[in-house]
Amino acid sequence: MPFSSLGLSDPLLRAIADAGYSTPSPIQQQAIPAVLQGHDLLAAAQTGTGKTAGFTLPLLHRLSQHSFSHNRPVRVLILTPTRELAAQVGESVNKYGAHLIPRLKTEVVFGGVKINPQMQRLRGGVDVLVATPGRLLDLISQNAVKLDKVETLVLDEADRMLDMGFIRDIRKIIAQLPKKRQNLLFSATFSEDIRKLTTGLLVNPVKIEVAPRNTAAETVEQIAYLCNKANKTELLAHLIKSGDWQQVLVFTSTKHGANRLTEKLNKVDIKAAAIHGNKSQGARTSALAGFKAGEIRALVATDVAARGIDIALLPHVVNFELPRSPADYVHRIGRTGRAGEQGQAVSLVSHDEVGDLRQVEKLMGSAIKRDQVAGFEAALVAPPMPPEPPRPPRQPRHNKPTGKPATATTHARRNPRPKPAA
Ligand code: AMP
């Protein structure tokens, strides 16, 4: 599919050609037509997917279709978590808008630098404002900018903004915007907090989910060990010991699961610590410090707890349970094999999780190698029941066969999947 089939104007197509892009990335193919049509958008996509062009191009198209009033009120507001991302998005807006006539005015504002020059630059009016939430609120309180003519709000890397504690600022900013507007939300992951934010913000959003290009999904060695749920702890301990893994990040889907696993690993002499939402900040920090220092061999985490932590270049990531959302899988394995380093992502997959594994493969568009570890093979039948105490002999006619073998599925049902951690 060429860019020219997406409905973008000629000046934008020229800018795309200048940038050297030949075909739209998957997120661009889906996002550009939706945004052009004025829909709200809920997009699961992280950096590297081409998401910035995915929202910038159609928004520039829409802006340039209408005449500008001479005082240039902000019509597109883009919120980002960090100054780096704000600067990057600002550059993209300028790059893709380079051939538009008349030129659009774009401004980037973030904290940590003097506010006065930003106030001056805003004075003449801007069409597109890229901002971090805290500084934008400061500017609003100083009457340096008004947001009552905003047509489109973009929340970029919304999960990071929430992790950084910006939720109240975001809500205050939203309260300044006209009720009727277009909303686009981009997030790598979807926690309960993000879901709460999207309810009430997005109206019938077009939903898009894509895996990142050229990232861990392609460079990390991924393997799924099919196994029995009951043997997972033993299997993990075996992998850590036999592979001599010194630093492994293990994901579980519940906080209790993280605690239980940590206890069991410590019992078999694998130094482990858990980090999750029920742990105090102090406990989390010390677990993380111990892990980084090499004193803790296995850090057991829930998705939410792991999100904010910065650990570079992990050699091993283990999915003790597969995440509910395939996008979380991509996020998890993105923690290994960064910057071309060798990394391995291992998933322990029990019978009831095979469907989840397929969902992950569907999202990534590639198959994950399946294997079994000798001694821990996934049983085709349920493990034998514990021996029952001897009973007095019965009459043979009462022993009717059921005709149903005890299957692994039966076993799985006795161990329902835990709910994901909040
Ligand atoms: P982003 O995910 O928005 O941070 O973009 C990641 C990188 O991909 C940026 O360096 C873009 O310049 C580049 N990019 C965006 N769209 C395309 C495309 N259609 N073809 C090739 N590269 C692209």
Summarised one tens digit per residue, pLDDT across range 173-192 is 999 999 999 999 999 877 78
Give the CA angle between residues 144, 186, 316 to the nearest 5°: 125
Tokens, residue 292: 């980084």
Cite the beta strand spans of 91-190 per DSSP E: 106-109, 128-131, 152-155, 182-187
Mean pLDDT of 255-263: 95
Which residue's alpha carbon is nearest to atom 18 within ligand 1?
21
155 and 260 fall within a common domain: no
Structural domain includes residue 35: yes
145 within ligand 1 shell (Cβ under 6 A): no
Which of ligand 1's atoms lies nearest the C-alpha of 92? Answer: 12
88 within ligand 1 shell (Cβ under 6 A): no
Choose among 151, 146, 140, 155: nearest CA to 80: 155
Domain that holds residue 57: 3-209
Q: Are 258 and 231 in contact (CB under 8 A)?
A: no
pLDDT value at residue 277 = 76
Task: Label the pairing between strands 272-275 and 298-301.
Answer: parallel
pLDDT in tens, 100-134: 988 999 999 999 889 999 999 999 899 999 999 99
pLDDT band at 144 (very low <50, low <70, confident <90, very high): very high
Question: Which one has a higher pLDDT value, 192 or 302?
Answer: 302
Structural domain includes residue 398: no
257 within ligand 1 shell (Cβ under 6 A): no
Of 353, 371, 389, the last residue of a domain is 371
Residues 6 or more apart in contact with residue 139 via CB below 8 angstroms = 109, 115, 118, 119, 122, 131, 145
User: 22 CA to middle of ligand 1, Å?
Assistant: 11
26 within ligand 1 shell (Cβ under 6 A): no
| DSSP state string for 192-240 | HHHHHHHTTT-SSPEEEE-PPTTSHHHHSEEEEEE--GGGHHHHHHHHH
46 within ligand 1 shell (Cβ under 6 A): no
Structural domain includes residue 418: no
152 and 57 fall within a common domain: yes
Question: Does position 33 have pLDDT exceeding 70, yes or no?
Answer: yes
Chain centroid offset of residue 372 CA: 28
- Amino acid in the structure at residue 140: I
191 within ligand 1 shell (Cβ under 6 A): no
143 and 250 fall within a common domain: no
Q: In what order do the strands lie in the sheet with 128-131?
A: 106-109, 128-131, 76-79, 152-155, 182-187, 41-44, 206-209
CA distance 413 to 393: 31
Structural domain includes residue 256: yes
Q: Are 58 and 36 in contact (CB under 8 A)?
A: yes
Which of ligand 1's atoms lies nearest the C-alpha of 28? Answer: 19
In this structure, what CATH number is given to the domain that contains residue 10? 3.40.50.300
Tokens, residue 191: 């926690």
- Among 129-143, 204-218, 315-329, 386-400, the minimum mean pLDDT is found in 386-400
Question: Does position 403 have pLDDT exceeding 80, yes or no?
Answer: no
pLDDT band at 143 (very low <50, low <70, confident <90, very high): very high
Which residue's alpha carbon is nearest to atom 6 within ligand 1?
48
188 and 50 fall within a common domain: yes
**Average pLDDT of every residue of the chain:** 85
Structural domain includes residue 378: no
- Give backbone dihedrals phi and psi of 296, rounded to 5 degrees, phi first: -110, 125
pLDDT in tens, 13-23: 999 999 999 89
Question: Which one has a higher pLDDT value, 294 or 14?
Answer: 14
Which residue's alpha carbon is nearest to atom 4 within ligand 1?
47
User: 212 CA to middle of ligand 1, Å?
Assistant: 11
Which of ligand 1's atoms lies nearest the C-alpha of 49? Answer: 2
Count the domains in the chain. Answer: 2
11 within ligand 1 shell (Cβ under 6 A): no
User: 48 CA to middle of ligand 1, Å?
Assistant: 6
Which of ligand 1's atoms lies nearest the C-alpha of 21? Answer: 20
User: 109 CA to middle of ligand 1, Å?
Assistant: 23
CA dist 255 → 28, 292, 304 (Å) = 36, 21, 10
Which residue's alpha carbon is nearest to atom 21 within ligand 1?
21
176 and 255 fall within a common domain: no
User: 90 CA to middle of ligand 1, Å?
Assistant: 14
22 and 96 fall within a common domain: yes
CA distance 391 to 389: 6
282 and 157 fall within a common domain: no
Question: Does position 210 have pLDDT exceeding 80, yes or no?
Answer: no
pLDDT in tens, 245-257: 999 999 999 999 9
- Maximum Cα–Cα distance across the chain: 97
User: 231 CA to middle of ligand 1, Å?
Assistant: 43
308 and 328 fall within a common domain: yes
CA 154, 157, 159, 165 dihedral sign is negative
Ligand 1: which of 21, 23, 84, 130 to mutate, most ligand atoms within 8 Å of CB? 21
Choose among 226, 222, 224, 223: nearest CA to 350: 226
Question: Which one has a higher pLDDT value, 329 or 314?
Answer: 329
Give the up-direction half-sphere exposure of residue 276: CA atoms within 13 A in the CB hemisphere: 23
Percent of all residues in the chain with a pLDDT value above 70, rounded to a whole number: 84
50 within ligand 1 shell (Cβ under 6 A): yes
pLDDT value at residue 164 = 85
48 within ligand 1 shell (Cβ under 6 A): yes
Structural domain includes residue 396: no
Q: Are 66 and 233 in contact (CB under 8 A)?
A: no
